[in-house]
Amino acid sequence: MDIKEFLGPHRWLSNFWPAPVLMDGETYPTVEHAYQAAKTLDPGERKGIRDTASPGAAKRLGGFVTKRDDWDTIKLEVMRRLLLQKFAIPEMRQKLLDTGDARIIEGNTWGDTFWGVCKGNGTNHLGRLIEDIREQANAEAI
């Protein structure tokens, strides 16, 4: 059975889920915080994002940072590295393994067709990255 959105019993798949990750020597409370901070090289902007109270606020701030020139070429790798950390947390890893071979789709209503799928359209990069990490975790468990 496919996982079609990161809500209800699958909310933990969301980048908004509390899961501390490390980036450039600093700990961020969620993948979302770290991802948004990675968009900039400005230490003050990164700190502002890191210190926000919620991942939603971090996402909003990320839309206003001084974006690094190479962002579009590195953003998938940045996300992959952050997700690897999240799913290295034993509880998160087990939950991911427990999804079996379900297709993971980051369904959304806000029009994100890069990371997810909206109204049936999208590349679902986030879901595909999570599936790849699950496959790697399964291989390591053998």
134 Cβ neighbours under 8 A, 6+ residues apart:
87, 96, 97, 99, 104
pLDDT band for 1, please (50, 70, 90 cuts). Answer: confident
Rounded mean pLDDT, 42-70: 98
Q: Are 52 and 32 in contact (CB under 8 A)?
A: no
CA torsion 93-33-79-66 (nearest 10°) is -170
Domains of the chain: 3-141 (1.10.357.40)
pLDDT band for 109, please (50, 70, 90 cuts). Answer: very high
Rounded mean pLDDT, 38-60: 98
Residue 38 above 80 pLDDT?
Answer: yes
Residue 142 above 80 pLDDT?
Answer: no
